[in-house]
Amino acid sequence: MAEDTAPIVRIRELKKDSVNFVLENVDLAFANSVRRVMMADLPTVAIDLVEFVTNTSVLPDEYIAHRLGLIPLVSTNCDEAIRYTRDCTCMRGCSFCSVKLELHVSCSDDTTLEVTSNHLDVVPYVDDDAVDTGDEIAKRTANFGHPVGKSDPSVPPILICKIRKGQELHVKCTAKKGIAKEHAKWSPCSAVSFEYDPYNKLRHTSYWFERDSKTEWPVSDNSKEEETPRDDEPFDFNAKPNKFYFDVETDGSLGPQEVVMKGLAELQTKLANLLLGLKPTDEADGGGAGGGGGAWGDAPAAQDNAWGGNANQGGWGGGGANSPARWGAGGARSAASGGAGSSAWSGSGSSWGGSGASPANSNAAAATTGGWGAGNSSGWGGSPSQQTQGWNV
Protein backbone atom coordinates (compact mmCIF):
# COMPACT_ATOMS: atom_id res chain seq x y z
CA MET A 1 0.00 0.00 0.00
CA ALA A 2 1.28 3.44 -0.83
CA GLU A 3 2.55 5.57 2.00
CA ASP A 4 0.04 8.35 1.41
CA THR A 5 -2.89 5.91 1.68
CA ALA A 6 -1.72 4.00 4.76
CA PRO A 7 -4.10 4.16 7.75
CA ILE A 8 -3.30 6.95 10.18
CA VAL A 9 -4.33 7.12 13.85
CA ARG A 10 -3.98 10.44 15.64
CA ILE A 11 -4.87 10.63 19.34
CA ARG A 12 -6.38 13.97 20.26
CA GLU A 13 -7.24 13.35 23.92
CA LEU A 14 -6.55 10.48 26.33
CA LYS A 15 -8.12 10.27 29.78
CA LYS A 16 -8.44 7.59 32.43
CA ASP A 17 -11.71 6.21 31.06
CA SER A 18 -11.96 7.70 27.55
CA VAL A 19 -9.98 8.38 24.41
CA ASN A 20 -10.63 10.62 21.43
CA PHE A 21 -8.75 9.91 18.21
CA VAL A 22 -8.93 10.40 14.46
CA LEU A 23 -8.75 7.44 12.06
CA GLU A 24 -7.87 8.30 8.47
CA ASN A 25 -7.46 6.52 5.13
CA VAL A 26 -9.92 3.71 5.87
CA ASP A 27 -13.40 3.12 4.55
CA LEU A 28 -16.69 3.35 6.40
CA ALA A 29 -17.11 -0.42 6.78
CA PHE A 30 -13.77 -0.79 8.56
CA ALA A 31 -14.48 2.11 10.92
CA ASN A 32 -17.85 0.66 11.86
CA SER A 33 -16.28 -2.78 12.36
CA VAL A 34 -13.81 -1.33 14.82
CA ARG A 35 -16.66 0.31 16.72
CA ARG A 36 -18.71 -2.89 16.90
CA VAL A 37 -15.76 -5.04 17.97
CA MET A 38 -14.85 -2.69 20.79
CA MET A 39 -18.42 -2.75 22.06
CA ALA A 40 -19.34 -6.42 21.74
CA ASP A 41 -16.33 -8.71 21.24
CA LEU A 42 -13.87 -7.93 24.04
CA PRO A 43 -14.05 -10.28 27.06
CA THR A 44 -14.54 -9.00 30.59
CA VAL A 45 -15.71 -10.47 33.89
CA ALA A 46 -19.15 -9.76 35.35
CA ILE A 47 -21.37 -11.28 38.00
CA ASP A 48 -23.33 -14.12 36.42
CA LEU A 49 -24.62 -16.18 39.36
CA VAL A 50 -26.13 -14.76 42.57
CA GLU A 51 -27.08 -16.82 45.63
CA PHE A 52 -29.31 -15.03 48.11
CA VAL A 53 -28.71 -16.05 51.69
CA THR A 54 -30.77 -13.25 53.28
CA ASN A 55 -32.77 -10.46 51.72
CA THR A 56 -35.15 -8.50 53.92
CA SER A 57 -34.97 -5.30 51.88
CA VAL A 58 -37.91 -3.91 49.95
CA LEU A 59 -36.44 -4.99 46.60
CA PRO A 60 -37.02 -8.53 45.23
CA ASP A 61 -34.16 -10.92 44.57
CA GLU A 62 -34.37 -10.60 40.79
CA TYR A 63 -34.11 -6.83 40.95
CA ILE A 64 -30.97 -6.92 43.09
CA ALA A 65 -29.42 -9.71 41.01
CA HIS A 66 -29.87 -7.64 37.86
CA ARG A 67 -28.19 -4.65 39.48
CA LEU A 68 -25.28 -6.78 40.69
CA GLY A 69 -24.71 -8.12 37.19
CA LEU A 70 -24.37 -4.60 35.77
CA ILE A 71 -21.66 -3.53 38.23
CA PRO A 72 -18.38 -3.27 36.24
CA LEU A 73 -15.51 -5.34 37.62
CA VAL A 74 -11.81 -4.79 37.00
CA SER A 75 -10.95 -7.04 34.03
CA THR A 76 -7.42 -6.03 33.07
CA ASN A 77 -5.78 -8.64 30.83
CA CYS A 78 -8.99 -10.66 30.96
CA ASP A 79 -8.24 -12.69 27.83
CA GLU A 80 -5.26 -14.34 29.59
CA ALA A 81 -6.09 -13.96 33.29
CA ILE A 82 -9.21 -16.15 33.35
CA ARG A 83 -10.76 -18.96 31.33
CA TYR A 84 -14.20 -19.34 29.89
CA THR A 85 -16.25 -21.75 31.99
CA ARG A 86 -16.88 -23.83 28.86
CA ASP A 87 -13.12 -24.31 28.45
CA CYS A 88 -12.46 -25.30 32.07
CA THR A 89 -12.39 -28.90 33.27
CA CYS A 90 -13.93 -28.19 36.69
CA MET A 91 -17.44 -29.29 37.56
CA ARG A 92 -18.79 -26.47 39.74
CA GLY A 93 -16.41 -23.56 39.13
CA CYS A 94 -12.87 -22.94 40.25
CA SER A 95 -10.39 -20.12 40.72
CA PHE A 96 -9.21 -20.48 37.10
CA CYS A 97 -12.60 -19.77 35.49
CA SER A 98 -14.52 -17.61 37.98
CA VAL A 99 -14.23 -15.09 40.80
CA LYS A 100 -16.18 -15.30 44.07
CA LEU A 101 -17.66 -12.16 45.64
CA GLU A 102 -19.73 -11.73 48.76
CA LEU A 103 -21.90 -8.93 50.13
CA HIS A 104 -23.21 -8.95 53.73
CA VAL A 105 -24.72 -5.73 55.08
CA SER A 106 -27.21 -5.14 57.88
CA CYS A 107 -28.66 -1.96 59.37
CA SER A 108 -28.89 -1.57 63.14
CA ASP A 109 -29.69 2.15 63.61
CA ASP A 110 -32.46 4.49 62.60
CA THR A 111 -30.66 5.94 59.61
CA THR A 112 -31.02 4.74 56.04
CA LEU A 113 -28.04 2.64 54.97
CA GLU A 114 -27.01 2.68 51.33
CA VAL A 115 -25.72 -0.66 50.04
CA THR A 116 -23.19 0.08 47.30
CA SER A 117 -20.60 -1.70 45.19
CA ASN A 118 -17.98 -0.92 47.83
CA HIS A 119 -19.60 -3.58 50.06
CA LEU A 120 -18.70 -6.29 47.55
CA ASP A 121 -15.58 -8.22 48.57
CA VAL A 122 -13.64 -10.82 46.62
CA VAL A 123 -13.36 -14.04 48.64
CA PRO A 124 -11.09 -17.01 47.92
CA TYR A 125 -12.42 -20.38 46.87
CA VAL A 126 -12.92 -22.79 49.76
CA ASP A 127 -13.73 -25.94 47.78
CA ASP A 128 -11.68 -25.45 44.64
CA ASP A 129 -12.32 -28.51 42.45
CA ALA A 130 -9.83 -27.59 39.74
CA VAL A 131 -8.35 -30.75 38.28
CA ASP A 132 -5.53 -29.08 36.37
CA THR A 133 -3.18 -26.17 36.83
CA GLY A 134 -2.49 -23.05 34.84
CA ASP A 135 -0.88 -19.64 34.92
CA GLU A 136 -4.08 -17.60 34.68
CA ILE A 137 -4.00 -16.51 38.32
CA ALA A 138 -0.40 -15.31 38.02
CA LYS A 139 -1.43 -12.99 35.16
CA ARG A 140 -4.08 -11.18 37.18
CA THR A 141 -3.66 -7.77 38.70
CA ALA A 142 -4.03 -7.20 42.44
CA ASN A 143 -7.58 -5.85 42.12
CA PHE A 144 -8.79 -8.24 39.40
CA GLY A 145 -12.49 -8.94 39.86
CA HIS A 146 -13.05 -6.11 42.35
CA PRO A 147 -15.74 -3.50 41.64
CA VAL A 148 -14.42 -0.57 39.63
CA GLY A 149 -13.46 2.34 41.84
CA LYS A 150 -13.61 0.49 45.15
CA SER A 151 -10.11 1.55 46.19
CA ASP A 152 -10.41 5.00 44.63
CA PRO A 153 -12.08 7.58 46.89
CA SER A 154 -12.56 9.93 43.92
CA VAL A 155 -14.90 7.46 42.17
CA PRO A 156 -18.42 7.34 43.64
CA PRO A 157 -19.70 3.81 44.31
CA ILE A 158 -22.69 2.28 42.52
CA LEU A 159 -25.88 2.15 44.57
CA ILE A 160 -27.46 -1.30 44.85
CA CYS A 161 -30.29 -0.71 47.34
CA LYS A 162 -31.21 1.05 50.59
CA ILE A 163 -32.08 -0.68 53.85
CA ARG A 164 -33.49 0.48 57.16
CA LYS A 165 -33.15 -0.70 60.75
CA GLY A 166 -33.60 -4.45 61.10
CA GLN A 167 -33.12 -5.18 57.39
CA GLU A 168 -30.26 -7.28 56.02
CA LEU A 169 -28.80 -8.25 52.67
CA HIS A 170 -26.45 -11.19 52.30
CA VAL A 171 -25.57 -12.53 48.83
CA LYS A 172 -22.85 -14.71 47.34
CA CYS A 173 -21.88 -13.95 43.75
CA THR A 174 -19.89 -15.72 41.06
CA ALA A 175 -18.30 -13.63 38.32
CA LYS A 176 -17.50 -15.26 34.98
CA LYS A 177 -15.82 -14.33 31.73
CA GLY A 178 -17.94 -13.39 28.73
CA ILE A 179 -18.51 -10.95 25.87
CA ALA A 180 -21.26 -8.44 25.21
CA LYS A 181 -22.71 -10.52 22.36
CA GLU A 182 -24.05 -12.79 25.08
CA HIS A 183 -25.10 -10.04 27.49
CA ALA A 184 -24.50 -6.29 27.65
CA LYS A 185 -23.07 -6.56 31.19
CA TRP A 186 -19.83 -7.89 29.65
CA SER A 187 -19.29 -4.81 27.48
CA PRO A 188 -16.19 -2.84 28.51
CA CYS A 189 -17.55 0.34 26.89
CA SER A 190 -20.33 2.61 28.00
CA ALA A 191 -20.34 4.52 24.70
CA VAL A 192 -18.46 4.23 21.40
CA SER A 193 -19.23 6.69 18.64
CA PHE A 194 -17.62 8.10 15.55
CA GLU A 195 -18.45 10.96 13.21
CA TYR A 196 -17.49 11.66 9.64
CA ASP A 197 -18.23 14.42 7.16
CA PRO A 198 -19.24 17.09 9.73
CA TYR A 199 -20.34 19.46 6.96
CA ASN A 200 -22.51 16.76 5.34
CA LYS A 201 -20.85 17.23 1.97
CA LEU A 202 -21.67 13.61 1.10
CA ARG A 203 -25.35 14.21 1.92
CA HIS A 204 -25.65 11.05 3.98
CA THR A 205 -27.89 12.94 6.41
CA SER A 206 -31.18 14.62 5.63
CA TYR A 207 -31.86 17.53 7.96
CA TRP A 208 -35.36 18.34 9.13
CA PHE A 209 -35.64 22.06 9.69
CA GLU A 210 -38.24 24.82 9.80
CA ARG A 211 -36.41 27.85 8.42
CA ASP A 212 -32.64 27.43 8.08
CA SER A 213 -30.78 24.13 8.39
CA LYS A 214 -27.45 25.78 9.17
CA THR A 215 -28.70 27.61 12.22
CA GLU A 216 -30.90 24.77 13.47
CA TRP A 217 -28.21 22.11 12.88
CA PRO A 218 -24.86 23.59 13.93
CA VAL A 219 -21.72 21.70 13.00
CA SER A 220 -19.68 19.86 15.64
CA ASP A 221 -16.20 20.65 16.88
CA ASN A 222 -14.84 18.10 14.40
CA SER A 223 -15.56 20.58 11.64
CA LYS A 224 -12.36 22.39 12.64
CA GLU A 225 -10.46 19.44 11.18
CA GLU A 226 -11.87 19.96 7.68
CA GLU A 227 -12.17 22.77 5.19
CA THR A 228 -15.45 24.66 5.05
CA PRO A 229 -17.22 23.88 1.76
CA ARG A 230 -18.34 26.63 -0.59
CA ASP A 231 -22.01 27.16 -1.31
CA ASP A 232 -21.44 26.83 -5.04
CA GLU A 233 -19.26 23.74 -4.74
CA PRO A 234 -20.55 20.96 -7.05
CA PHE A 235 -21.64 17.67 -5.56
CA ASP A 236 -19.21 14.78 -5.97
CA PHE A 237 -21.11 11.55 -6.56
CA ASN A 238 -17.99 9.40 -6.23
CA ALA A 239 -16.75 10.85 -2.94
CA LYS A 240 -16.40 8.48 0.02
CA PRO A 241 -15.61 9.20 3.67
CA ASN A 242 -12.05 8.41 4.74
CA LYS A 243 -11.66 10.40 7.96
CA PHE A 244 -13.45 9.34 11.13
CA TYR A 245 -13.54 10.99 14.56
CA PHE A 246 -13.80 8.36 17.32
CA ASP A 247 -14.83 8.89 20.91
CA VAL A 248 -14.48 5.78 23.11
CA GLU A 249 -15.72 5.83 26.70
CA THR A 250 -15.21 2.78 28.95
CA ASP A 251 -16.95 1.76 32.16
CA GLY A 252 -13.63 1.25 33.95
CA SER A 253 -13.38 -2.52 33.60
CA LEU A 254 -10.75 -2.02 30.87
CA GLY A 255 -8.68 1.03 30.07
CA PRO A 256 -9.32 2.94 26.85
CA GLN A 257 -5.92 2.03 25.43
CA GLU A 258 -6.52 -1.68 26.08
CA VAL A 259 -9.98 -1.45 24.51
CA VAL A 260 -8.69 0.07 21.27
CA MET A 261 -5.62 -2.15 20.93
CA LYS A 262 -7.43 -5.39 21.73
CA GLY A 263 -10.33 -4.34 19.53
CA LEU A 264 -8.00 -4.05 16.54
CA ALA A 265 -6.37 -7.38 17.42
CA GLU A 266 -9.78 -9.07 17.66
CA LEU A 267 -10.83 -7.65 14.30
CA GLN A 268 -7.60 -8.90 12.76
CA THR A 269 -8.28 -12.37 14.15
CA LYS A 270 -11.81 -12.39 12.73
CA LEU A 271 -10.57 -11.40 9.27
CA ALA A 272 -7.86 -14.08 9.40
CA ASN A 273 -10.44 -16.74 10.25
CA LEU A 274 -12.62 -15.50 7.38
CA LEU A 275 -9.77 -15.77 4.89
CA LEU A 276 -8.97 -19.24 6.16
CA GLY A 277 -12.58 -20.32 5.72
CA LEU A 278 -12.67 -19.00 2.15
CA LYS A 279 -9.70 -21.08 1.06
CA PRO A 280 -10.46 -24.12 -1.11
CA THR A 281 -10.62 -27.44 0.64
CA ASP A 282 -7.46 -28.78 -0.94
CA GLU A 283 -5.47 -25.74 0.23
CA ALA A 284 -6.92 -25.75 3.73
CA ASP A 285 -6.45 -29.51 4.25
CA GLY A 286 -3.41 -29.99 2.06
CA GLY A 287 -5.11 -32.47 -0.30
CA GLY A 288 -4.97 -32.63 -4.09
CA ALA A 289 -7.62 -31.46 -6.48
CA GLY A 290 -8.64 -34.98 -7.44
CA GLY A 291 -7.67 -36.78 -4.27
CA GLY A 292 -9.87 -38.40 -1.71
CA GLY A 293 -9.87 -35.32 0.51
CA GLY A 294 -12.97 -34.01 -1.23
CA ALA A 295 -12.75 -30.92 -3.42
CA TRP A 296 -15.68 -28.73 -4.31
CA GLY A 297 -17.12 -31.05 -6.94
CA ASP A 298 -16.04 -34.40 -5.56
CA ALA A 299 -18.70 -36.82 -4.44
CA PRO A 300 -18.63 -38.94 -1.27
CA ALA A 301 -18.02 -42.63 -1.43
CA ALA A 302 -20.83 -44.89 -2.55
CA GLN A 303 -21.34 -46.28 0.94
CA ASP A 304 -21.43 -42.89 2.62
CA ASN A 305 -24.66 -41.08 3.36
CA ALA A 306 -24.95 -37.81 1.46
CA TRP A 307 -28.18 -36.01 2.27
CA GLY A 308 -29.65 -39.06 3.90
CA GLY A 309 -29.27 -41.83 1.31
CA ASN A 310 -26.85 -44.72 0.96
CA ALA A 311 -25.66 -47.18 -1.61
CA ASN A 312 -28.84 -49.24 -1.61
CA GLN A 313 -31.39 -46.54 -0.99
CA GLY A 314 -32.75 -43.58 -2.90
CA GLY A 315 -33.12 -40.08 -1.59
CA TRP A 316 -31.34 -36.81 -2.07
CA GLY A 317 -27.96 -38.39 -1.68
CA GLY A 318 -28.69 -42.00 -2.57
CA GLY A 319 -25.93 -43.85 -4.33
CA GLY A 320 -27.92 -46.63 -6.00
CA ALA A 321 -28.85 -46.96 -9.65
CA ASN A 322 -32.39 -45.76 -8.98
CA SER A 323 -31.35 -42.75 -6.90
CA PRO A 324 -31.83 -39.15 -8.09
CA ALA A 325 -29.13 -36.84 -9.30
CA ARG A 326 -26.49 -35.66 -6.87
CA TRP A 327 -24.04 -32.78 -6.79
CA GLY A 328 -21.42 -34.52 -8.83
CA ALA A 329 -22.10 -38.13 -7.88
CA GLY A 330 -20.94 -41.09 -9.91
CA GLY A 331 -17.36 -41.36 -11.12
CA ALA A 332 -16.27 -38.58 -8.70
CA ARG A 333 -17.23 -35.88 -11.20
CA SER A 334 -18.12 -32.34 -10.32
CA ALA A 335 -21.49 -30.77 -11.07
CA ALA A 336 -19.87 -28.42 -13.55
CA SER A 337 -18.39 -31.22 -15.65
CA GLY A 338 -21.53 -33.37 -15.80
CA GLY A 339 -20.34 -35.31 -18.80
CA ALA A 340 -20.50 -38.91 -17.71
CA GLY A 341 -21.80 -41.15 -14.99
CA SER A 342 -25.35 -41.98 -14.08
CA SER A 343 -25.97 -38.94 -11.87
CA ALA A 344 -24.43 -35.88 -13.53
CA TRP A 345 -26.33 -32.76 -14.39
CA SER A 346 -26.78 -33.70 -18.03
CA GLY A 347 -25.80 -37.37 -17.89
CA SER A 348 -27.98 -40.37 -18.55
CA GLY A 349 -29.88 -42.30 -15.92
CA SER A 350 -31.26 -39.89 -13.33
CA SER A 351 -30.85 -36.39 -14.74
CA TRP A 352 -33.22 -33.45 -14.43
CA GLY A 353 -35.77 -34.63 -16.90
CA GLY A 354 -34.82 -38.28 -17.09
CA SER A 355 -32.83 -39.92 -19.91
CA GLY A 356 -30.39 -37.03 -20.06
CA ALA A 357 -32.86 -34.21 -20.84
CA SER A 358 -32.50 -30.74 -19.37
CA PRO A 359 -35.52 -28.79 -18.03
CA ALA A 360 -35.59 -26.77 -21.24
CA ASN A 361 -35.94 -29.97 -23.31
CA SER A 362 -38.46 -31.60 -21.03
CA ASN A 363 -40.89 -32.13 -23.90
CA ALA A 364 -38.45 -34.48 -25.59
CA ALA A 365 -37.62 -36.36 -22.42
CA ALA A 366 -40.24 -39.06 -22.42
CA ALA A 367 -38.40 -41.13 -19.87
CA THR A 368 -39.90 -43.77 -17.66
CA THR A 369 -37.81 -42.91 -14.61
CA GLY A 370 -39.76 -39.78 -13.90
CA GLY A 371 -38.46 -36.31 -13.01
CA TRP A 372 -39.36 -32.70 -13.46
CA GLY A 373 -40.14 -33.14 -17.13
CA ALA A 374 -40.83 -36.89 -17.25
CA GLY A 375 -43.77 -38.21 -19.20
CA ASN A 376 -45.19 -40.31 -16.38
CA SER A 377 -45.36 -37.41 -13.93
CA SER A 378 -47.16 -34.12 -14.01
CA GLY A 379 -44.12 -32.17 -15.23
CA TRP A 380 -43.26 -28.67 -14.10
CA GLY A 381 -46.80 -27.80 -13.08
CA GLY A 382 -47.36 -30.83 -10.85
CA SER A 383 -45.65 -32.63 -8.02
CA PRO A 384 -43.82 -35.92 -8.59
CA SER A 385 -45.24 -39.07 -7.14
CA GLN A 386 -44.06 -40.36 -3.79
CA GLN A 387 -41.98 -43.09 -5.43
CA THR A 388 -40.51 -40.87 -8.16
CA GLN A 389 -36.82 -40.15 -7.70
CA GLY A 390 -36.93 -41.15 -4.06
CA TRP A 391 -38.93 -38.15 -2.80
CA ASN A 392 -40.63 -40.19 -0.09
CA VAL A 393 -37.62 -41.93 1.42
Range of the domain at 20: 1-42+237-278
Whether residue 75 is contained in a domain is answered as: yes
Q: Which of 150, 167, 186 is the last residue of a domain?
A: 186
Closest alpha carbon to 83 in 177, 173, 174, 175: 177
Whether residue 374 is contained in a domain is answered as: no
CATH of the domain at 51: 2.170.120.12
Q: Using H for helix, E for strand and C for coil, what is the string for 93-126?
A: CCCCCEEEEEEEEECCCCCCEEEEHHHCEEECCC
How confident is residue 286, by pLDDT bands cut at 50, 70 and 90?
low
Q: Count the domains in the chain.
A: 2
How confident is residue 178, by pLDDT bands cut at 50, 70 and 90?
very high
Whether residue 65 is contained in a domain is answered as: yes
pLDDT at 104 over 90: yes
Whether residue 342 is contained in a domain is answered as: no
Residue predicted with more confidence, 186 or 307: 186
Same domain, 148 and 180: yes
Same domain, 101 and 68: yes
- Residue 369: CA count within 13 A, CB half-sphere: 21
Same domain, 158 and 34: no
Whether residue 253 is contained in a domain is answered as: yes
Whether residue 252 is contained in a domain is answered as: yes
What is the value of pTM for the model shown? 0.68
How confident is residue 287, by pLDDT bands cut at 50, 70 and 90?
low
Same domain, 31 and 89: no
Residue predicted with more confidence, 344 or 201: 201
pLDDT at 282 over 80: no
Q: What is the pLDDT of residues 3-43, one digit of tens each?
A: 568 899 999 999 999 999 999 999 999 999 999 999 999 99
Torsion angle in degrees (nearest 10) through CA of 362, 364, 368, 374? 20
Instruction: Encode 69-104: b = buried (16+ Cβ within 10 Å), e = exposed.
Output: bebbbbbbebeebbbebeebebeebbbbbbbbbebe
Same domain, 67 and 115: yes
pLDDT at 56 over 50: yes
pLDDT at 222 over 70: yes
Same domain, 56 and 31: no
Mean pLDDT, rounded, of the chain: 78
Q: Which of 278, 307, 340 is the last residue of a domain?
A: 278
Same domain, 61 and 76: yes
Whether residue 92 is contained in a domain is answered as: yes
Residue 46 β-bridge partners: 176
Residue predicted with more confidence, 129 or 49: 49
